[in-house]
Amino acid sequence: MQRFRRLDIPDLLQHVIVGGIERRDIFLEDADRADFVRRLSSLARETETDCLAWSLMSNHFRLFPYG
């Protein structure tokens, strides 16, 4: 499937969806989720990006970053 170029505009609200291949689980236990949240928090601080909402499901996650 063709991917189009993403917009890179300051202060644009994005909807990011990342899923496991063939809908397989990407988070196997709560420790995986905690590690992901820790890394996401660190990256958001480093890049001065706000994450207005996020959802972690067993086989995918969604983010609404802004900034």
Structural domain spans, the chain: 23-66
- Residue 5 has a pLDDT of 72
Tokens standing for residue 50: 């706000």
Residue type, 39: R
Amino acid at 52: L
Give me the pLDDT at residue 12, please.
81
Q: Which residues pair with 17 in a beta bridge?
A: 62
Tens digits of residue pLDDT in 7-49:
777 778 888 999 999 999 999 999 999 999 999 999 999 998 8
What is the secondary structure of 10-61 as a DSSP string? TT-B--EEEE-GGG--S--SHHHHHHHHHHHHHHHHHHT-EEEEEEE-SSEE
